[in-house]
Structures are given as C-alpha cells and as structure tokens.
Amino acid sequence: MRQTEGKPQAEGIHDIIRSLQHLEGPLLPILHAIQTAYDHIPEAALPLIGDALNLTRAEVHGVISFYHDFRTTPAGRHVVRLCRAEACQAVGANGVAASVLGTLGIDWHGTTGDGRITVEPVYCLGLCACGPAAMVNGKVIGRTDAARIGRELEGLT
C-alpha cells in the first residue's frame, strides 16, 4: 500500500516533504519518495517542494528533467528502457529502438494507449560490452536485437 492512499494528493505530498526536508540535500530523496508514492512527480508537487526548500519551481523542474529516472506522468504497467549510449548505438541500438517504438506506435517517454508499456531512453545500463542493451521491468538484457526485444514485449500483459 502506498503511504499516500486515501489522502488528498497535496496532503500526501506535504507529508512526504515534511518527513524528509530535515535531511542534508533533501531534494532528491523527496523527489524519489513522491515518485514512489504516485508513480510520477505530479505537477502540483513542484511549488510545494519549492516553498519547503526555498527553491524556485524552475529549479525543482530542472532537477526532475535532468535525471532520467524521474517522470512527470505515470508510467505504464511495464517500463522498457533502451540504452542510447554511443557504445550501444555502435552495435545496433538505433535499429532496436526504431523497431520497438514503431511496433508500439509511440515515441520516447510514451505509453501505449492501453497503459501497458512505457518506453524510456537511458544513457547507459552498464553493459557496454554486451550492447545493445535494454531493461524490461528492471531486468537487464544484453546483446538484444529487434526479435529478442519483440519477444520480451509479447510476454508483457
């Protein structure tokens, strides 16, 4: 159960902020906790975080947009991350990405219409020697190709 269930969103966000703002460098822990609670960082959280930490809305947004792990809309039931780093691109990642995005009919950061799959770019999964690399629901897949990732996607319900 998420800690914010049954509470209005603003109240739940305030509770998270209050519980973490005492930390040194509290912004990232607060953002992670809010995303864990809501599966994304709601737009309404930005001014609340800014007020509590004496930051502008733009500063909070800048941090959210800098880190690829944060999202501003809820993800699909399954998250597919495709490596976009140069090492993976050199061994076919662009073709894998084009196949996945084309098959699903979405663009980067998009979610299929049925809410099943979200595709996100990442800029290294640490498998440079085993590229192209992907991650499906936290499971890392090395030496992937369009056929293998297609089979992974077919298994997602």
Q: Work out the percent of the chain whose per-residue pLDDT is above 70.
A: 96
Q: Work out the percent of the chain whose per-residue pLDDT is above 90.
A: 89
Q: Does residue 85 contact residue 142 with C-beta atoms inside 8 Å?
A: no
pLDDT at 4 over 70: no
Classify domain 78-154 by CATH architecture: 3-Layer(aba) Sandwich (3.40)
pTM, two decimals, is: 0.79
Q: Counting Cβ atoms within 10 Å, is residue 157 exposed (0-12), middle (13-18) or buried (19+)? A: exposed
- Taking residues 112-130, report their average pLDDT: 94
pLDDT at 118 over 70: yes
Which residues in 4-122 belong to E strands, given as ranges? 78-83, 117-122
Cα atoms in the 13 Å half-sphere on the side-chain side of 138: 1
pLDDT at 68 over 90: no
Poorest-pLDDT segment among 30-34, 58-62, 111-115, 152-156:
152-156
What's the pLDDT score for residue 125?
Answer: 93
Give the separation between CA 128 and CA 91, rounded to whole angstroms: 10
Domain residue extents for the chain: 9-66, 78-154
pLDDT tens readout for residues 73-83: 999 999 999 99
Band the pLDDT of 1: cuts 50, 70, 90.
very low
- Taking residues 99-107, report their average pLDDT: 97
